[in-house]
Chain A
Amino acid sequence: QSALTQPASVSGSPGQSVTISCTGTSSDVGVYNYVSWYQQYPGKAPKLMIYEVSNRPSGVPDRFSGSKSGNTASLTISGLQTEDEADYYCSSYTSSSILYVFGTGTKVTVL
């Protein structure tokens, strides 16, 4: 089971929108609505930002949104803010033996 594929980096200016893709297969993203997204600052633990494709936990700003089409899930950050500069990882439940797979990670840079 390979990691889900994410772009290595995306960037945008404050106020703009950026979208991070997360491409899997018909064994994970394509068949389960159990895609989640995590934000991680350097040296810190990940933080849950989106669960079950498009749901936000309490306390996560509504500028973060998630969606899915086929084997690809996406995280969109609207109205980009400086504090959004971090690494982002997607994750999916998978029917393979390993149960859970993470994405390769995307560094978001606020210009």
Chain B
Amino acid sequence: QVQLVESGGGVVQPGRSLRLSCAASGFTFKSYAIHWVRQAPGKGLEWVAVISYDGSNKNYADSVKGRFTISRDNSKNTLYLQMNSLRAEDTAVYYCARDAEMATDAFDIWGQGTMVTVSS
């Protein structure tokens, strides 16, 4: 069964750090680019970051550039998002999503999401 499972969310104070993980199974993880997408409570989807299949290329949304770092460990089939200098506006459900197998620039497999709350 092809799936992505996020973990690591929680409540954190502004300015602190948090690391999210996304464990993949059921497909050849090392062959796919993977994205992070977030959704603030009651709001729409926002693309956050992407990492290429081998980790050599990374891109970020302007809202997180310089604060968040995406990485992956293909030996562990796991994606990470290191989030530093967190702000209240980073409060959201964070999803990892696979670059679509059959398409260009679409996301075909999504995790269930992990909630991050930034609050004092």
Q: Which of A13-21, A44-52, A69-77 contacts B (4 or more CB under 8 A)?
A: A44-52
Interface size on B, residues (CB 8 A): 24
Contact A45 B105, CB 8 Å, known A98-B62, A99-B47, A102-B44 = no
Contacting residues, chain B, for A101 (C-beta < 8 A): 47
Could you count the A-B residue pairs with CB atoms below 8 Å apart for me: how many are there?
75
Task: Return the contact of A100 from the options B47, B111, B112, B113 (Cβ within 8 A).
Answer: B47
Contacting residues, chain B, for A67 (C-beta < 8 A): none
Which positions 14-59 of chain A face chain B at CB distance < 8 Å? 32, 34, 36, 38, 44-48, 51-52, 55, 57
Task: Return the contact of B104 from the options A46, A47, A52 (Cβ within 8 A).
Answer: A52
* Separation of A18 and B17 alpha carbons in the complex (Å): 44
Task: Return the contact of B110 from the options A47, A99, A103 (Cβ within 8 A).
Answer: A47
Q: Which of B18-26, B71-79, B83-91, B95-103 contacts A (4 or more CB under 8 A)?
A: B95-103
Contact A99 B59, CB 8 Å, known A45-B112, A52-B103 = yes
Across the interface, name the chain A residue whose C-beta is closest to B49: A99
Interface 0/1 of A81-111, CB less than 8 Å to B: 0000000010111000111111111000000
Q: B103 touching A98 by the CB < 8 A rule?
A: no
Chain A residues near B (Cβ < 8 Å): 1, 3, 32, 34, 36, 38, 44-48, 51-52, 55, 57, 89, 91-93, 97-105
With contacts A45-B113, A52-B104, A102-B47 known, what are 18 further pairs, Cβ within 8 A?
A1-B62, A3-B44, A32-B105, A36-B105, A36-B106, A45-B95, A45-B110, A45-B111, A46-B97, A46-B110, A47-B110, A48-B106, A51-B104, A91-B45, A91-B47, A92-B105, A100-B35, A105-B44
Chain B residues near A (Cβ < 8 Å): 35, 37, 44-47, 50, 59, 61-62, 95, 97, 100, 102-108, 110-113
- Jot down 25 A-B pairs with beta carbons below 8 A, ordered by A: A1-B62, A34-B105, A36-B106, A38-B45, A45-B95, A45-B111, A45-B112, A45-B113, A46-B110, A51-B100, A51-B102, A51-B103, A91-B106, A93-B105, A97-B62, A99-B50, A100-B35, A100-B50, A100-B105, A101-B47, A102-B45, A102-B46, A102-B47, A103-B44, A105-B45
